[in-house]
Structure 1
Amino acid sequence: MPTAKVVDVIDRATIILQDATSVRFPLVELLKFFNDAQKEVVLHRPDASMVNATFACATGSKQSLPSAALRLVDVVRNTSGRSITQVDRKILDETLPNWHETAASSEGIQHFIYDPADPKNFYIFPKGASGTHSLEIVYSSVPSDISISNFATDTQVIGIDDIYANCLLDYILYRAYQKDSEYAGNAQRAAMHYQSFSNALGIKTQADAATAPTPKTPDMNVGRM
Protein backbone atom coordinates (compact mmCIF):
# COMPACT_ATOMS: atom_id res chain seq x y z
CA MET A 1 0.00 0.00 0.00
CA PRO A 2 1.32 3.49 -0.84
CA THR A 3 2.31 5.74 2.04
CA ALA A 4 3.83 8.74 0.22
CA LYS A 5 1.61 11.82 0.49
CA VAL A 6 0.61 13.69 -2.65
CA VAL A 7 1.41 17.02 -0.99
CA ASP A 8 4.92 15.80 -0.17
CA VAL A 9 5.62 14.99 -3.82
CA ILE A 10 4.30 18.40 -4.85
CA ASP A 11 6.32 20.11 -2.10
CA ARG A 12 9.50 18.50 -3.43
CA ALA A 13 8.62 19.87 -6.86
CA THR A 14 8.23 23.43 -5.54
CA ILE A 15 11.65 23.18 -3.87
CA ILE A 16 13.36 22.08 -7.08
CA LEU A 17 11.47 24.73 -9.06
CA GLN A 18 12.57 27.32 -6.48
CA ASP A 19 8.99 28.48 -6.19
CA ALA A 20 8.34 28.21 -2.45
CA THR A 21 5.51 30.76 -2.62
CA SER A 22 3.85 28.95 -5.55
CA VAL A 23 3.53 32.15 -7.57
CA ARG A 24 4.89 30.89 -10.87
CA PHE A 25 3.55 27.37 -10.43
CA PRO A 26 0.32 27.35 -8.37
CA LEU A 27 -0.20 24.23 -6.29
CA VAL A 28 -3.45 23.43 -8.10
CA GLU A 29 -1.53 23.42 -11.38
CA LEU A 30 1.15 21.11 -10.00
CA LEU A 31 -1.64 18.85 -8.75
CA LYS A 32 -2.96 18.61 -12.32
CA PHE A 33 0.52 17.62 -13.45
CA PHE A 34 0.56 15.02 -10.65
CA ASN A 35 -2.72 13.49 -11.81
CA ASP A 36 -1.41 13.39 -15.37
CA ALA A 37 1.78 11.76 -14.09
CA GLN A 38 -0.09 8.88 -12.46
CA LYS A 39 -1.96 8.17 -15.69
CA GLU A 40 1.26 8.36 -17.68
CA VAL A 41 2.95 5.86 -15.37
CA VAL A 42 0.11 3.36 -15.71
CA LEU A 43 -0.03 3.88 -19.47
CA HIS A 44 3.55 2.65 -19.77
CA ARG A 45 3.55 0.31 -16.78
CA PRO A 46 0.11 -1.29 -16.39
CA ASP A 47 1.49 -3.35 -13.51
CA ALA A 48 1.84 -0.15 -11.47
CA SER A 49 -1.86 -0.17 -10.66
CA MET A 50 -3.14 -3.74 -10.38
CA VAL A 51 -6.49 -4.83 -8.98
CA ASN A 52 -7.38 -8.37 -7.91
CA ALA A 53 -11.15 -8.50 -7.65
CA THR A 54 -14.27 -10.63 -7.79
CA PHE A 55 -16.00 -10.20 -11.14
CA ALA A 56 -19.70 -10.98 -11.63
CA CYS A 57 -20.23 -12.46 -15.08
CA ALA A 58 -22.77 -11.06 -17.49
CA THR A 59 -24.96 -13.45 -19.43
CA GLY A 60 -23.15 -14.66 -22.54
CA SER A 61 -19.58 -15.30 -23.62
CA LYS A 62 -18.49 -11.66 -23.88
CA GLN A 63 -17.46 -9.94 -20.66
CA SER A 64 -16.48 -6.29 -20.12
CA LEU A 65 -14.13 -4.99 -17.45
CA PRO A 66 -15.18 -2.31 -14.91
CA SER A 67 -15.11 1.28 -16.19
CA ALA A 68 -11.93 2.13 -14.27
CA ALA A 69 -10.01 -0.78 -15.82
CA LEU A 70 -7.25 -0.22 -18.34
CA ARG A 71 -6.69 -3.80 -19.51
CA LEU A 72 -7.09 -7.39 -18.40
CA VAL A 73 -4.08 -9.16 -16.91
CA ASP A 74 -5.45 -12.57 -15.89
CA VAL A 75 -8.56 -14.60 -15.13
CA VAL A 76 -7.55 -16.78 -12.20
CA ARG A 77 -10.48 -18.98 -11.23
CA ASN A 78 -14.16 -19.38 -10.57
CA THR A 79 -14.90 -18.03 -7.11
CA SER A 80 -16.36 -21.46 -6.39
CA GLY A 81 -12.86 -22.87 -6.78
CA ARG A 82 -12.21 -24.29 -10.27
CA SER A 83 -9.20 -22.78 -12.02
CA ILE A 84 -9.52 -21.12 -15.44
CA THR A 85 -7.01 -21.38 -18.26
CA GLN A 86 -6.49 -19.18 -21.29
CA VAL A 87 -6.92 -20.56 -24.79
CA ASP A 88 -6.48 -19.19 -28.27
CA ARG A 89 -9.80 -18.22 -29.83
CA LYS A 90 -8.76 -19.90 -33.09
CA ILE A 91 -8.77 -23.28 -31.35
CA LEU A 92 -12.35 -22.85 -30.19
CA ASP A 93 -13.48 -21.39 -33.50
CA GLU A 94 -12.11 -24.40 -35.39
CA THR A 95 -13.17 -27.16 -33.00
CA LEU A 96 -16.41 -25.72 -31.61
CA PRO A 97 -17.84 -23.14 -34.04
CA ASN A 98 -20.84 -22.55 -31.74
CA TRP A 99 -18.82 -22.24 -28.55
CA HIS A 100 -20.30 -18.82 -27.79
CA GLU A 101 -23.63 -20.54 -27.10
CA THR A 102 -22.33 -23.41 -24.97
CA ALA A 103 -23.84 -23.20 -21.49
CA ALA A 104 -21.70 -23.80 -18.42
CA SER A 105 -22.18 -26.87 -16.27
CA SER A 106 -22.16 -26.86 -12.49
CA GLU A 107 -18.34 -26.76 -12.64
CA GLY A 108 -18.48 -23.21 -13.97
CA ILE A 109 -16.20 -21.46 -16.46
CA GLN A 110 -13.29 -23.44 -17.92
CA HIS A 111 -11.41 -21.06 -20.23
CA PHE A 112 -11.03 -17.41 -21.18
CA ILE A 113 -10.02 -15.72 -24.42
CA TYR A 114 -8.32 -12.33 -24.57
CA ASP A 115 -7.09 -10.10 -27.38
CA PRO A 116 -4.72 -7.24 -26.38
CA ALA A 117 -6.18 -5.22 -29.27
CA ASP A 118 -9.48 -5.16 -27.33
CA PRO A 119 -8.06 -4.61 -23.83
CA LYS A 120 -11.28 -3.94 -21.90
CA ASN A 121 -13.19 -7.02 -23.02
CA PHE A 122 -12.65 -10.77 -22.84
CA TYR A 123 -14.60 -13.95 -23.59
CA ILE A 124 -15.33 -16.98 -21.46
CA PHE A 125 -16.10 -20.60 -22.28
CA PRO A 126 -18.63 -21.90 -21.56
CA LYS A 127 -20.78 -18.77 -21.51
CA GLY A 128 -21.66 -17.20 -18.20
CA ALA A 129 -25.02 -16.54 -16.59
CA SER A 130 -25.72 -13.31 -14.74
CA GLY A 131 -26.17 -13.91 -11.03
CA THR A 132 -24.74 -17.42 -11.28
CA HIS A 133 -21.09 -17.21 -12.25
CA SER A 134 -18.39 -15.05 -10.69
CA LEU A 135 -14.64 -15.05 -11.28
CA GLU A 136 -11.44 -13.88 -9.64
CA ILE A 137 -9.71 -11.61 -12.14
CA VAL A 138 -6.66 -9.35 -12.22
CA TYR A 139 -6.65 -6.12 -14.21
CA SER A 140 -4.77 -2.87 -14.51
CA SER A 141 -6.76 0.18 -13.43
CA VAL A 142 -6.59 3.92 -14.08
CA PRO A 143 -5.81 5.84 -10.85
CA SER A 144 -8.52 8.28 -9.79
CA ASP A 145 -7.69 11.97 -9.94
CA ILE A 146 -6.75 13.50 -6.60
CA SER A 147 -8.55 16.65 -5.44
CA ILE A 148 -7.08 18.80 -2.67
CA SER A 149 -8.80 21.76 -1.03
CA ASN A 150 -6.19 22.46 1.67
CA PHE A 151 -2.59 21.67 0.76
CA ALA A 152 -1.42 22.44 4.30
CA THR A 153 -3.43 19.68 5.97
CA ASP A 154 -4.21 17.14 3.25
CA THR A 155 -3.07 13.56 3.96
CA GLN A 156 -4.07 11.72 0.77
CA VAL A 157 -1.46 9.27 -0.52
CA ILE A 158 -0.43 8.64 -4.10
CA GLY A 159 -2.53 6.15 -6.05
CA ILE A 160 0.33 3.84 -7.03
CA ASP A 161 3.21 2.22 -5.14
CA ASP A 162 5.73 4.45 -3.34
CA ILE A 163 8.48 3.19 -5.63
CA TYR A 164 7.01 5.41 -8.36
CA ALA A 165 7.14 8.63 -6.30
CA ASN A 166 10.34 9.81 -7.99
CA CYS A 167 8.84 9.08 -11.41
CA LEU A 168 5.84 11.23 -10.52
CA LEU A 169 8.16 14.01 -9.38
CA ASP A 170 10.16 13.89 -12.62
CA TYR A 171 6.98 14.09 -14.68
CA ILE A 172 5.69 17.08 -12.70
CA LEU A 173 9.03 18.86 -13.23
CA TYR A 174 8.99 17.97 -16.92
CA ARG A 175 5.57 19.59 -17.35
CA ALA A 176 6.52 22.62 -15.26
CA TYR A 177 9.75 23.33 -17.15
CA GLN A 178 7.96 22.66 -20.43
CA LYS A 179 5.52 25.42 -19.50
CA ASP A 180 8.45 27.81 -19.06
CA SER A 181 10.43 26.51 -22.03
CA GLU A 182 10.91 30.03 -23.44
CA TYR A 183 13.35 30.76 -20.61
CA ALA A 184 17.00 29.80 -21.05
CA GLY A 185 17.77 26.24 -20.10
CA ASN A 186 14.22 25.19 -19.25
CA ALA A 187 13.66 23.20 -22.45
CA GLN A 188 16.76 21.18 -21.62
CA ARG A 189 15.61 20.74 -18.01
CA ALA A 190 12.22 19.52 -19.24
CA ALA A 191 13.89 17.01 -21.57
CA MET A 192 16.20 15.84 -18.77
CA HIS A 193 13.32 15.17 -16.37
CA TYR A 194 11.29 13.37 -19.01
CA GLN A 195 14.31 11.23 -19.82
CA SER A 196 14.66 10.37 -16.13
CA PHE A 197 10.96 9.53 -16.02
CA SER A 198 11.29 7.34 -19.11
CA ASN A 199 14.40 5.55 -17.90
CA ALA A 200 12.84 4.75 -14.54
CA LEU A 201 9.78 3.21 -16.15
CA GLY A 202 11.57 1.43 -18.97
CA ILE A 203 9.18 2.96 -21.48
CA LYS A 204 11.09 1.38 -24.36
CA THR A 205 10.03 -2.07 -23.18
CA GLN A 206 6.83 -3.58 -24.49
CA ALA A 207 4.73 -3.12 -21.35
CA ASP A 208 1.55 -4.46 -22.90
CA ALA A 209 3.26 -7.65 -24.07
CA ALA A 210 4.78 -8.11 -20.63
CA THR A 211 1.45 -7.97 -18.80
CA ALA A 212 -1.15 -9.17 -21.30
CA PRO A 213 -2.20 -12.79 -20.72
CA THR A 214 -0.92 -15.06 -23.47
CA PRO A 215 -2.12 -18.61 -24.10
CA LYS A 216 0.57 -21.21 -23.55
CA THR A 217 -0.17 -24.85 -24.33
CA PRO A 218 -3.40 -25.62 -26.26
CA ASP A 219 -5.91 -27.54 -24.14
CA MET A 220 -6.70 -30.81 -25.89
CA ASN A 221 -9.77 -31.29 -23.69
CA VAL A 222 -11.33 -27.98 -24.66
CA GLY A 223 -14.44 -29.61 -26.09
CA ARG A 224 -15.13 -31.83 -23.13
CA MET A 225 -17.63 -30.83 -20.44
Structure 2
Amino acid sequence: MAVTVQSVLDRVQQTLQDTGGIRWSSTAELILWVNDAQREIAILKPDATSTNTTVTLAAGTKQSIPADGNRLLNVVRNMSAASSGTGKRTVRLVSRDILDSLEPSWHDPAVKGDAKHGTSVKHFMYEDQDPRNFYVYPGVSGNAYLEIIYSANPATIAANANLGVPDIYATAVMNYVLYMCYMKDSEFVANQQRANSHFNLFMSTVTGKSQIDTTTSPNTNTTPQAQISGVG
Protein backbone atom coordinates (compact mmCIF):
# COMPACT_ATOMS: atom_id res chain seq x y z
CA MET A 1 0.00 0.00 0.00
CA ALA A 2 1.32 3.46 -0.91
CA VAL A 3 2.65 5.62 1.92
CA THR A 4 0.59 8.77 2.46
CA VAL A 5 1.91 12.15 3.53
CA GLN A 6 -0.33 11.97 6.59
CA SER A 7 1.20 8.68 7.72
CA VAL A 8 4.65 10.30 7.59
CA LEU A 9 3.36 13.29 9.57
CA ASP A 10 1.87 10.93 12.18
CA ARG A 11 5.29 9.32 12.68
CA VAL A 12 6.91 12.75 12.90
CA GLN A 13 4.49 13.90 15.60
CA GLN A 14 4.96 10.67 17.53
CA THR A 15 8.73 11.16 17.50
CA LEU A 16 8.29 14.79 18.59
CA GLN A 17 5.90 13.59 21.33
CA ASP A 18 3.38 16.04 19.92
CA THR A 19 0.56 13.75 18.82
CA GLY A 20 -1.93 16.29 20.14
CA GLY A 21 -0.56 18.98 17.85
CA ILE A 22 0.37 21.35 20.68
CA ARG A 23 3.75 22.59 19.41
CA TRP A 24 2.95 21.91 15.76
CA SER A 25 -0.74 22.82 15.70
CA SER A 26 -0.63 23.50 11.95
CA THR A 27 0.62 20.79 9.64
CA ALA A 28 1.10 23.22 6.74
CA GLU A 29 4.75 23.78 7.60
CA LEU A 30 5.36 20.06 8.07
CA ILE A 31 3.85 19.36 4.64
CA LEU A 32 6.11 22.04 3.16
CA TRP A 33 9.10 20.15 4.55
CA VAL A 34 7.80 16.85 3.17
CA ASN A 35 7.85 18.46 -0.26
CA ASP A 36 11.32 19.88 0.39
CA ALA A 37 12.51 16.39 1.37
CA GLN A 38 11.22 14.89 -1.88
CA ARG A 39 13.05 17.52 -3.92
CA GLU A 40 16.26 16.91 -1.99
CA ILE A 41 15.94 13.18 -2.66
CA ALA A 42 15.46 13.86 -6.38
CA ILE A 43 18.69 15.89 -6.39
CA LEU A 44 20.72 13.35 -4.42
CA LYS A 45 19.22 10.24 -6.05
CA PRO A 46 17.80 11.23 -9.45
CA ASP A 47 16.54 7.73 -10.25
CA ALA A 48 14.25 7.93 -7.21
CA THR A 49 11.90 9.87 -9.48
CA SER A 50 12.77 8.14 -12.75
CA THR A 51 10.10 8.28 -15.44
CA ASN A 52 9.96 6.27 -18.65
CA THR A 53 8.16 8.03 -21.49
CA THR A 54 8.09 8.57 -25.24
CA VAL A 55 8.94 12.07 -26.47
CA THR A 56 8.35 13.69 -29.84
CA LEU A 57 11.63 15.08 -31.11
CA ALA A 58 12.15 18.63 -32.30
CA ALA A 59 13.64 19.31 -35.72
CA GLY A 60 17.42 19.40 -35.63
CA THR A 61 19.92 17.86 -33.22
CA LYS A 62 19.13 19.55 -29.90
CA GLN A 63 16.42 17.91 -27.78
CA SER A 64 14.97 18.52 -24.31
CA ILE A 65 13.33 16.36 -21.67
CA PRO A 66 9.71 17.11 -20.61
CA ALA A 67 8.98 20.30 -18.66
CA ASP A 68 8.70 18.46 -15.33
CA GLY A 69 12.15 16.95 -15.76
CA ASN A 70 15.20 17.42 -13.59
CA ARG A 71 17.77 15.59 -15.73
CA LEU A 72 18.09 12.98 -18.45
CA LEU A 73 18.98 9.48 -17.26
CA ASN A 74 19.05 7.49 -20.50
CA VAL A 75 17.81 7.22 -24.08
CA VAL A 76 16.52 3.75 -24.91
CA ARG A 77 15.24 3.41 -28.47
CA ASN A 78 13.36 4.92 -31.39
CA MET A 79 9.59 4.52 -31.30
CA SER A 80 7.04 4.31 -34.11
CA ALA A 81 4.65 6.86 -32.57
CA ALA A 82 4.27 9.34 -29.72
CA SER A 83 1.92 6.99 -27.84
CA SER A 84 1.15 3.27 -28.05
CA GLY A 85 4.01 2.91 -30.52
CA THR A 86 6.25 -0.08 -31.12
CA GLY A 87 9.96 -0.19 -30.45
CA LYS A 88 12.43 0.42 -33.27
CA ARG A 89 16.20 0.92 -33.54
CA THR A 90 18.14 1.18 -30.27
CA VAL A 91 20.06 4.36 -29.47
CA ARG A 92 23.60 4.41 -28.06
CA LEU A 93 25.52 7.05 -26.15
CA VAL A 94 28.59 8.38 -27.97
CA SER A 95 31.19 11.05 -27.37
CA ARG A 96 30.44 14.39 -29.00
CA ASP A 97 34.16 14.86 -29.64
CA ILE A 98 34.18 11.78 -31.86
CA LEU A 99 31.27 13.01 -33.98
CA ASP A 100 32.72 16.51 -34.16
CA SER A 101 35.95 15.04 -35.53
CA LEU A 102 34.28 12.73 -38.05
CA GLU A 103 31.61 15.13 -39.28
CA PRO A 104 31.93 18.73 -38.05
CA SER A 105 28.72 19.71 -39.89
CA TRP A 106 26.45 17.09 -38.31
CA HIS A 107 24.28 19.83 -36.73
CA ASP A 108 23.59 21.37 -40.17
CA PRO A 109 20.14 20.40 -41.55
CA ALA A 110 21.66 20.39 -45.03
CA VAL A 111 24.40 17.89 -44.20
CA LYS A 112 24.62 14.83 -46.46
CA GLY A 113 25.77 11.25 -46.06
CA ASP A 114 25.44 9.25 -42.83
CA ALA A 115 24.76 12.46 -40.87
CA LYS A 116 21.79 13.43 -43.06
CA HIS A 117 18.86 14.42 -40.88
CA GLY A 118 15.94 12.00 -40.91
CA THR A 119 13.38 10.21 -38.75
CA SER A 120 15.58 7.61 -37.02
CA VAL A 121 18.22 8.32 -34.38
CA LYS A 122 21.39 6.23 -33.98
CA HIS A 123 23.23 8.00 -31.16
CA PHE A 124 22.75 10.56 -28.43
CA MET A 125 25.14 12.88 -26.59
CA TYR A 126 24.73 14.28 -23.09
CA GLU A 127 26.61 16.83 -21.01
CA ASP A 128 26.36 16.78 -17.21
CA GLN A 129 26.60 20.57 -17.24
CA ASP A 130 23.34 20.76 -19.23
CA PRO A 131 21.20 18.03 -17.64
CA ARG A 132 17.86 18.90 -19.23
CA ASN A 133 19.07 18.82 -22.83
CA PHE A 134 20.72 16.27 -25.11
CA TYR A 135 21.73 15.95 -28.76
CA VAL A 136 20.85 13.26 -31.28
CA TYR A 137 22.65 11.89 -34.34
CA PRO A 138 21.65 12.10 -37.04
CA GLY A 139 19.52 15.18 -36.54
CA VAL A 140 15.76 15.05 -36.96
CA SER A 141 13.85 16.26 -40.01
CA GLY A 142 10.42 15.38 -38.60
CA ASN A 143 8.15 12.60 -37.23
CA ALA A 144 10.71 11.07 -34.88
CA TYR A 145 10.07 9.67 -31.41
CA LEU A 146 12.32 8.36 -28.66
CA GLU A 147 11.73 6.37 -25.51
CA ILE A 148 13.72 8.08 -22.76
CA ILE A 149 14.21 7.75 -19.02
CA TYR A 150 14.47 10.97 -17.06
CA SER A 151 14.37 12.18 -13.47
CA ALA A 152 11.17 14.12 -12.82
CA ASN A 153 10.83 16.91 -10.28
CA PRO A 154 8.40 15.70 -7.58
CA ALA A 155 5.07 17.49 -7.74
CA THR A 156 3.95 19.46 -4.68
CA ILE A 157 1.61 17.25 -2.65
CA ALA A 158 -0.95 17.70 0.14
CA ALA A 159 -1.55 15.75 3.35
CA ASN A 160 -4.12 13.42 1.78
CA ALA A 161 -1.84 12.48 -1.13
CA ASN A 162 0.69 9.69 -1.49
CA LEU A 163 4.39 10.44 -1.38
CA GLY A 164 5.82 11.45 -4.73
CA VAL A 165 8.89 9.26 -4.20
CA PRO A 166 8.94 5.45 -3.76
CA ASP A 167 7.70 4.16 -0.39
CA ILE A 168 11.21 3.00 0.50
CA TYR A 169 12.14 6.67 1.04
CA ALA A 170 9.41 7.29 3.65
CA THR A 171 11.88 7.05 6.54
CA ALA A 172 14.22 9.48 4.80
CA VAL A 173 11.36 11.95 4.34
CA MET A 174 10.44 11.58 8.02
CA ASN A 175 14.01 12.25 9.12
CA TYR A 176 14.24 15.34 6.93
CA VAL A 177 11.04 16.76 8.44
CA LEU A 178 12.33 16.02 11.95
CA TYR A 179 15.60 17.73 11.05
CA MET A 180 13.70 20.88 10.03
CA CYS A 181 11.50 20.76 13.14
CA TYR A 182 14.46 20.58 15.50
CA MET A 183 16.34 23.21 13.50
CA LYS A 184 13.45 25.60 14.02
CA ASP A 185 13.79 25.09 17.78
CA SER A 186 17.59 25.02 17.70
CA GLU A 187 18.00 27.70 20.37
CA PHE A 188 18.08 24.70 22.67
CA VAL A 189 21.43 22.88 22.38
CA ALA A 190 19.81 19.45 22.60
CA ASN A 191 17.57 20.27 19.64
CA GLN A 192 20.55 21.30 17.54
CA GLN A 193 22.09 17.90 18.23
CA ARG A 194 18.83 16.15 17.38
CA ALA A 195 18.60 18.14 14.14
CA ASN A 196 22.10 17.07 13.13
CA SER A 197 21.31 13.46 13.98
CA HIS A 198 18.17 13.37 11.83
CA PHE A 199 19.90 15.12 8.93
CA ASN A 200 22.69 12.54 9.04
CA LEU A 201 20.09 9.76 9.06
CA PHE A 202 18.40 11.35 6.04
CA MET A 203 21.67 11.57 4.14
CA SER A 204 22.81 8.06 5.04
CA THR A 205 19.50 6.57 3.91
CA VAL A 206 19.55 8.30 0.53
CA THR A 207 23.26 8.02 -0.25
CA GLY A 208 23.46 4.53 1.25
CA LYS A 209 20.77 3.37 -1.16
CA SER A 210 22.90 4.72 -4.01
CA GLN A 211 25.77 2.48 -2.93
CA ILE A 212 23.49 -0.54 -2.58
CA ASP A 213 21.94 0.10 -6.00
CA THR A 214 25.42 0.20 -7.54
CA THR A 215 26.49 -3.13 -6.05
CA THR A 216 23.20 -4.93 -6.77
CA SER A 217 22.52 -3.52 -10.24
CA PRO A 218 22.17 -6.12 -13.02
CA ASN A 219 24.63 -3.96 -14.98
CA THR A 220 27.36 -4.75 -12.43
CA ASN A 221 27.60 -8.29 -13.78
CA THR A 222 26.84 -7.54 -17.42
CA THR A 223 28.63 -9.86 -19.81
CA PRO A 224 31.10 -7.86 -21.94
CA GLN A 225 29.89 -7.32 -25.49
CA ALA A 226 32.79 -9.28 -26.96
CA GLN A 227 31.70 -12.37 -25.02
CA ILE A 228 28.11 -12.36 -26.22
CA SER A 229 27.67 -14.84 -29.03
CA GLY A 230 26.74 -13.17 -32.28
CA VAL A 231 27.44 -9.62 -31.07
CA GLY A 232 30.56 -7.82 -32.12
The equivalent position to 2:158 in structure 1, one of 147, 150, 154, is 147
- Equivalent AA in structure 2 for residue 62 of structure 1: K
Kindly indicate whether structure 1 or structure 2 has the higher relative contact order, using CA contacts under 8 Å at least 6 residues apart: 1
Deviation of the 1:105 alpha carbon: 4.0
The equivalent position to 1:183 in structure 2, one of 164, 169, 188, is 188
- Equivalent AA in structure 2 for residue 175 of structure 1: M
**Distance in 2, Cα, partners of 1:118 & 1:9:** 34
Deviation of the 1:201 alpha carbon: 1.3
Over the matched positions of the two proteins, sequence identity in percent amounts to 40
CA contact (8 A) 2:118 2:140 kept: no
- In structure 1, runs of 5+ residues without a counterpart are 149-153, 207-225
- Greater share of residues in helix: 2
Deviation of the 1:183 alpha carbon: 2.1
- Equivalent AA in structure 2 for residue 3 of structure 1: A
Deviation of the 1:85 alpha carbon: 0.7
**Distance in 2, Cα, partners of 1:129 & 1:56:** 12
CA contact (8 A) 2:42 2:153 kept: yes
CA contact (8 A) 1:13 1:173 kept: yes
Give the aligned length.
200
TM-score of the superposed pair, with normalisation by structure 2:
0.81
After superposing on structure 2, the runs of 4+ consecutive aligned residues of structure 1 that deviate more than 4 Å are: 203-206
CA contact (8 A) 2:60 2:117 kept: no
Deviation of the 1:203 alpha carbon: 7.1
3-state secondary structure, aligned to 1:3? coil
3-state secondary structure, aligned to 1:99? coil
Q: Does 1:113 align with 2:125?
A: yes
CA contact (8 A) 1:44 1:203 kept: no
Deviation of the 1:39 alpha carbon: 0.4
Counterpart position of 1:129: 141
3-state secondary structure, aligned to 1:39? helix
- 1:69-123 Cα deviation digits (max 9, x unpaired): 11111110000301111110000101100011243345x1111000111100000
Counterpart position of 2:201: 196
3-state secondary structure, aligned to 1:202? helix
Counterpart position of 1:97: 104
**Distance in 1, Cα, partners of 2:176 & 2:13:** 13
**Distance in 1, Cα, partners of 2:158 & 2:4:** 13
Deviation of the 1:22 alpha carbon: 2.2
- In structure 2, runs of 5+ residues without a counterpart are 81-87, 109-114, 212-232
- 1:129-165 Cα deviation digits (max 9, x unpaired): 34x00000000111001134xxxxx3x2101111100
Alignment of 1:29-68 (within 5 A): 29-68=29-68
TM-score of the superposed pair, with normalisation by structure 1:
0.83
**Distance in 1, Cα, partners of 2:27 & 2:20:** 9
RMSD of Structure 2 on Structure 1 (CA): 2.2
- 1:152-205 Cα deviation digits (max 9, x unpaired): xx3x21011111000000000000000000124100000000010111111797
**Distance in 1, Cα, partners of 2:45 & 2:102:** 36
CA contact (8 A) 1:104 1:126 kept: yes
Q: Does 1:173 align with 2:195?
A: no
